[in-house]
Structure formats: C-alpha cells, structure tokens
Amino acid sequence: MFLLQVINDFFWTYVFIGGLLGAGLYFTFKIGFMQFRSIGEMFRVITEKSKDVDGMRSISPFKSFAIGAATRIGTGNLAGVTVAIVLGGPGAVFWMWIVALLGGATSFVESTLAQVYKIRDKEAYRGGPAYYIEKGLGQRWLGIIFAVLITLTFGLIFNSVQSNTIAGAFDNAFNVSPWVMGAIMTVLTGGIIFGGVHRIANFSSVIVPIMAVLYIIIAFVVVVMNISEIPAVLGLIVRSAFGFEQTVGGGIGAAIMMGVRRGLFSNEAGMGSSPNAAATASISHPAKQGFVQTLGVYVDTLVVSSATAFIILLNTDYHTSKEEGIQLLQNSLSLQIGGWASYFIAAAIFMFAFSSIIGSYYYGETNIEFIKKSKTAINVYRVATMAFVFFGSVASLNLVWDLADLFMAFMTIINVIAILLLGKIAFKVLKDYEEQRAQGIDPIFNPKKLGIKNTEAWDEEESDKMVG
C-alpha cells in the first residue's frame, strides 16, 4: 500500500496535475470560453428529443446525460469530497471547483469527438476514446491499450470503490455486515448488467435525478439553517486553497493535489470515461452532446460536491473526528438535521454508487467490444465486475482509493494526449454548430463539408437517406 501511495504522489505531483489543468486552459481559450458563455444552450440541448435513425433504438440526449451522470454522481461527490477535505484541508474544495470550470472545456472536446467518431452497433451507437484514437489518430494499438485500461479501471477498480462506500454507509447506519452488503450488491449488479445498455439508461435516468435532487434539497436546507456561517466557510475554503490559513491536510500542496484528484474522480473531465456515454446519443450534431456533458461536469462538482463540502465544513469538529469517508458525512449531516440523516445518506449513497457501478460496467463493455466482439469475453467481464463489487465491500478504504488513483492517472494521460492531438476537429465542429445556430437553424452535421474523415456512423446515416 505504501508503494501505491509513492507511485500515486509521483504521477499526480510531477506529471498529472500540470497536464490536466494545462489542457483545460488550452481548450478554454481555443473554444472561446464556450463553457461559460453557452450555459443556456446546454440546458436547451439536453431537453431535445432523440433523432430517429432507421434500425436504431434511439437514446435521447438526456438519457445519455444520465448514463454519464450515473458514473459521475456517486462516491466521488460524497465520500470523495470528505476524503479530500480531511487529507487536503478545506482548500481542496476550491481546486475541485477549478478542475470543474476548466474541465468543462475538456469535457466538451472529448464528448464531441466521441460523437464524431462513434459507430453503429446492432441497435445502438458505441464510441469513446478508444474509437477516436483509432479513427482520428489512426493508432488502433493505442486505442486497445486505452480500452484495456478503462475496462479495468471502471468495471473493476472504480466499482470496488463504489461498493466499499455503500458497505461503509450501511455498516454505520444499520450495522449491516460488509460481507452481507457485498453479497446483496453482487446479486443486484448481476441482475442489471445482463440486460444491456438500454436497461442501464432507463435505470440511470430514473434513479440518479431523483436522488440528486433530494440530496441537493437537504443540503440547501442545511445551508439556509446556517446561512450566517456560509461567508466564513467560503472564506476558509479560499484562504486554505492558497495557504493563507494553516489547516489540517498539509498546506497548499496537499490542497491542490487532493482537490485535483478528487475533482477528477468526481466529474471525470478529461479521464475519457464520459465520452463513452456521450457517443450513445442519437442527435443531429456532435457539438450538442459536448454541451450536454459539459453541463454534467457542472452539476456534478459545482452543485452536488459543493453540497457535501458545505455539510462537512459546517461541522467545525470534522478535523478531530475518528470517522473517515462516508461515515464522517453521515455524522456531520446528523448534527444538522438529526439521526435520520445517517439513514438518508446510506440510501442516497446506495442509489448514487449503485448507479455508478452500472454505468461503469457499461464503459467496460463498450471497450471490450472495441477490442473484439466476443460474447464469452463479455460474460467473463460481467462475472469479474460482480467479483470486484464484492471485493470492494470488504476491502480497506485506503486500498481501494489508492488503486483508483493509480489507474485513473494512467487512463487520463492517454486520453488527454489524444484529445490535444485531435482538438482541432472539435474546434471545427463547434464553429460549424455556432454558425448554423446564428442562422436560426437546428444544426446538422455534415462531416464531408468540414473535411472530417472516418466518421462511420454519420456516413452510414447519409447513405440510408440516399437509399430512402
């Protein structure tokens, strides 16, 4: 475990943070600060109906958003934020916000590329970094490496983090043994993942919004109850972010490191995961899904994660607590609204984290399909996913988080390099979208007009129209 921490610190300190934030700044300037000036467009696009395509079971922009949200809104927003504050101090929250604001641009680029280079697979679309690495960069070998990494990271490692958090929450609230909870989650996971992407989309589009809204409402109530303390909390976050106030967690270096780590785990911008969800949508123009996924980053970090941060920081004794992870959040909320809060958090984390398990599984499945279409491989992967769900429920908190950080770093490095090389495609697509919107028309993507090649799904749709 010590070796894992050393390797993680090296990657995150010397390689990763600068590259991730640097890429976010670069994309922000290249897309003309779109993630700030087009918020209204994000809300407009997410409510659009899916585009009907012959022979395809359409997935709407909102359902695609829900698949992405299913993996985004989960452990990272609750237990992850708590861990960041404990280890990095209140200043870590500020750096989580920075990751989200810059990550909005990064998320737009990677999700737009996923739509440009998606493929048609039976009755649904598939896509993601492995696909745009192969079709956009012409490097299938690198796409395979990424596909292997995301399959291991999300389907196995991240899912062990999710189940670990659920087990901890239920142990704290109901004294349910992690072994028992692990067995229950394993069976439930198996029941969902053998149903396919449409069952995943339907499950996520119902559960995630309901629980997110309930959690945000309760957090809002807590903030209103302590409204006079909020300026002090905000001041503490900013001062700690720049080392102006001595806090538990190791100073400014720890605040930045933990803020970026947990911010990325929370909103996944640049990691290469959400593009897999973005590619599933049936829409008329790739930029639309870029807008949708950018909105997802904001909802995840600026809303849900911030809600958790305020709950923790309003508990002035959080730094002396012996609790860690989700248990600290349960106890902090209980101090504000009563003992029933512990039960609510247990239920909320179950819904959030379980939907993340399902969404993460899908990311692995779509990348196995990229490597080789094999029913046997998919079934083996399903069993492995169930095994890691059980493993995570009984493993230590530090072990599952350290493994997650390491695999997340490897995955993100490959994806960020790829989208930096392919960024000009996304910039061209955004310009085309905005020009059509300025003319008052609903944008339609024509890759040949823009000189973009290897756009398999869009070329097939055009062929279908000509035949029709």
Residue-by-residue pLDDT tens, the chain, 468 positions: 555 565 556 555 555 566 778 889 999 999 999 999 999 999 998 887 766 555 555 667 777 776 666 656 667 777 778 888 887 888 889 988 988 999 999 999 999 999 999 998 777 788 999 999 999 999 999 999 999 999 999 889 988 988 888 888 888 888 889 999 999 999 988 888 876 556 666 666 666 677 777 877 888 888 888 888 889 989 989 888 887 665 555 566 677 777 777 677 677 788 888 898 888 888 899 999 999 989 988 988 888 888 888 988 887 677 766 666 677 888 888 888 887 878 887 887 787 777 778 778 888 888 898 898 888 999 999 999 999 999 999 988 778 878 887 888 888 889 999 999 999 999 999 999 999 999 999 999 999 999 999 998 887 665 555 444
- Going along the chain from its start, the domains and CATH numbers come out as 2-462 (1.20.1740)
Residue range 289-300, pLDDT digits in tens: 999 989 988 988
Enter the DSSP assignment of 242. Answer: T
Structural tokens at position 172 = 């704290």
Buried b / exposed e over 300-320, threshold 16 CB at 10 Å, is: bbbbbbbbbbbbbbbbeebbe
Q: Are strands 119-121 and 124-126 parallel, antiparallel or unpaired?
A: antiparallel
Please give the DSSP secondary-structure letter assigned to residue 319. G
Neighbours of 51 (CB within 10 A): 17
pLDDT at 468: 45
Report the run of H or E that residue 124 belongs to, with start and end: strand 124-126
CB atoms within 10 A of CB 427: 17
163 touches 393 (CB < 8 A) = yes
Question: Nearest-CA neighbor of 163 among 174, 151, 179?
Answer: 179
Q: How many CB atoms within 10 Å of residue 150?
A: 30
pLDDT of residue 460: 67
Residue 390 host element (H or E): helix 375-394
Taking the model in full, what pTM does it have?
Answer: 0.84
Between CA 273 and CA 276, with CA 274 as vertex, the angle to 5 degrees is: 80
357, two tokens: 């398990």
- What angle, rounded to 10 degrees, do the helices at 178-193 and 159-174 form? 130
* Angstrom distance (rounded) from CA 313 to CA 329: 10
Bridge-partner residues for 119, per DSSP? 126
Match 């996520």 to its residue by tokens.
204
Q: How many whole angstroms separate alpha carbon 59 and alpha carbon 63?
A: 6
Task: Tell me the DSSP string of 448-466.
Answer: HHHT----HHHHHHHHHHH
- Residue 466, pLDDT score: 41
CA dist 91 → 193, 253, 317 (Å): 38, 10, 17
Q: What is the pLDDT of residues 393-437, one digit of tens each?
A: 998 877 887 888 788 888 888 999 999 999 999 999 999 999 999
Termini Cα distance of the chain: 60
The predicted structure's pLDDT at residue 80: 78
Cβ 377 vs Cβ 368: under 8 Å: yes
- Whose structure tokens read 């680029």? 109
Query: What is d(CA 444, CA 139) in angstroms, rounded to the nearest whole number?
Result: 28
